[in-house]
Structure 1
Amino acid sequence: MSIQEKRNSDFFLRPRFSIDLKENPEELLERITTYLKSDACIYRSNVADKHVFIDIPVRKSHFWSPQLHFEIVKVDKNSSTLKGLFGPKPQVWTLFMFVHFVVATLFLGVGVFAYVQYRLGESLVFPIAILVALPLIWLLLYFLGSIGKETGKNQMKELHNLLITIIEQ
């Protein structure tokens, strides 16, 4: 079976890919589910409708371990597209998004505070310092995410290879 895979740029913290397959989507999902439930599979998984989540085994898992989520989309009766996404575990992603939300809210709040200070003729040293620091924190968060992605890259490849192995069976 020939696999045609498309990927997005490595710039993204949550890499996406899609694979076009000449296989009935229901049969493909059944084959994947059967393999993931077998004793030969050491990975943790969850299947909901046509969405499949695969995690690294607990003994090999760490804070930056990725999770593979893919959906099987029906193109027609005998072909399907597998749309996948690598990302951090939901808890890690939620933490990152919460911190981003806090930084964004602080940026807006301090921006208003700086404007009020300016209109009152007060010192702008503190608000301007914070307004400079918050984008630096955003950059730090991005680089931490990149480091995490790099740390989990081997496990990402492991999950991808698992998926290709299952598909090629």
Structure 2
Amino acid sequence: MKTLPNDIVLRPRFELELKLPKGNVLQFFEKSKKKDFLVKCIDEHVFIKFKKEHSHFWSPQLHLEITEINENISEVFGRFGPNPALWTFFMFLHFGIATLFIVCCIWGYSNWSLGKSYGLQLGILIFMIVVWFSLYAFGRVGKAKGKPQMKELYSFMKETLGL
């Protein structure tokens, strides 16, 4: 098993090489019956998440992509992540802050080149950097709170594949 470094990423990833055909791997997930998990298979993608009664704001889900190396060997690419709506909201906030950061940079540079005061713009830029780091820290806290459930999802995947 090859594991990618996940020290700073908010969406941990992994790869598995299986000595099974892709079709068999997909069938294992389609036939899996575990009361705590919802398993959805779409083409060569498998989405595993917790049912509503077992999930919370930071509950992760596991996205697996199964690819065929040859007839008898397949590769599983896995990625843990938060609820897609939560992830989209996080990305929206990051892009909004990045846009405001660029606007303040332009505004501050314009004031500087005109010889006007640019203290306000510099203060806003520093505040934006603090907000950016806060968002990252908030995401890390969420990842830590979801870690036990990530382990459950990973164990379920291994159990389903017979590993």
Normalised by the length of structure 2, the TM-score is 0.95
**Match of residue 98 from structure 1:** 92
1:27 aligns with 2:27: no
Q: Deviations over 1:68-106 (max 9, x none)?
A: 000111011001111100011100100100000001000
CA distance, structure 2, for counterparts of residue 155 and residue 161 of structure 1: 10
SS at match of 1:85: strand
| Letter matched to residue 87 of structure 2 | W
Unaligned runs of at least 5 residues, structure 2: none
CA distance, structure 2, for counterparts of residue 19 and residue 41 of structure 1: 25
CA distance, structure 1, for counterparts of residue 2 and residue 35 of structure 2: 24
How is 1:1-169 mapped onto 2 (pairs within 5 angstroms)?
4-35=1-32, 38=33, 40-168=34-162
CA distance, structure 1, for counterparts of residue 125 and residue 36 of structure 2: 48
Equivalences, count:
163
Superposition CA RMSD, Å: 1.3
CA distance, structure 1, for counterparts of residue 3 and residue 158 of structure 2: 14
SS at match of 2:113: helix
The alpha carbon displacement at 1:5 in A equals 4.2
Unaligned runs of at least 5 residues, structure 1: none
CA distance, structure 2, for counterparts of residue 53 and residue 9 of structure 1: 20
SS at match of 1:152: helix
CA distance, structure 1, for counterparts of residue 162 and residue 4 of structure 2: 19
CA distance, structure 1, for counterparts of residue 109 and residue 141 of structure 2: 36
